[in-house]
Amino acid sequence: MKSRSLHLRQLPSAVDGRDDSRHSSIITPHSSLNSRTRILGIDPGLRITGFGVIDKLGSNLIYVTSGCIKTAASDDLASRLKTILDGLHEVIAGEQPDQVTIEKVFVNKNPQSTLLLGQARGTAMCAAVGRDLPVSEYTALQIKQAVVGNGHAAKEQVQAMVRRLLALAGDPSPDAADALACAICHAHGGQGLGKLATAGYRMKKGRLV
């Protein structure tokens, strides 16, 4: 039996001092319960696949859960892909998302690494379409632009802005933060920072303050 590691991380909300991460209101004070859309964001990777789930209610975003699916380096490729597939099936069954969004693969200097990343990404897409869920794709630049306002932002900036936009009491892991950022980008149509519901914030040097 091959090992499979699914790490689900639920962060406490910073709103009203509550400890319930699954129902924390954010960004704007008004929402319509009838317009709720649950979005699963996925940051694919062969070693670590991050996932993040948020609810969109009108112009509000609500953090639901996030975490990582980790594969064992000692396993063969097929087993590692199965770990990702099974882990995402578990997340989808448990959280019942309406839509899925995945970060697009990029081409790096190592063709083998690009190929492996593409296989992990294809597995993630299969997990979604196998459940008849619509899948949207965004580049890392689009995601960072939507969340941070800077398409070349560092991972630490993405973590900080995800924490702020979702009113979390702590930073999610880098992979989970990227998945949540992907979901946030999709929630606002893949638009830049100017399209986000950012009442009460202002821009300074390309970042929300």
At 3, which amino acid appears?
S
Q: Could you say which of 86, 98, 103, 171 is catalytic?
A: 103
Active site residue 175: yes
Cα distance between residue 71 and residue 86, in whole Å: 11
Task: Tell me what percent of the chain is helix, strand and coil, each rounded to the nearest 5.
Answer: 40, 25, 35
Cα distance between residue 69 and residue 56, in whole Å: 24
Active site residue 132: no
Active site residue 43: yes
Locate the DSSP E strands across the chain: 5-9, 36-43, 48-57, 60-70, 99-103, 135-138, 203-204, 207-208
Residues known to be catalytic: 43, 103, 175
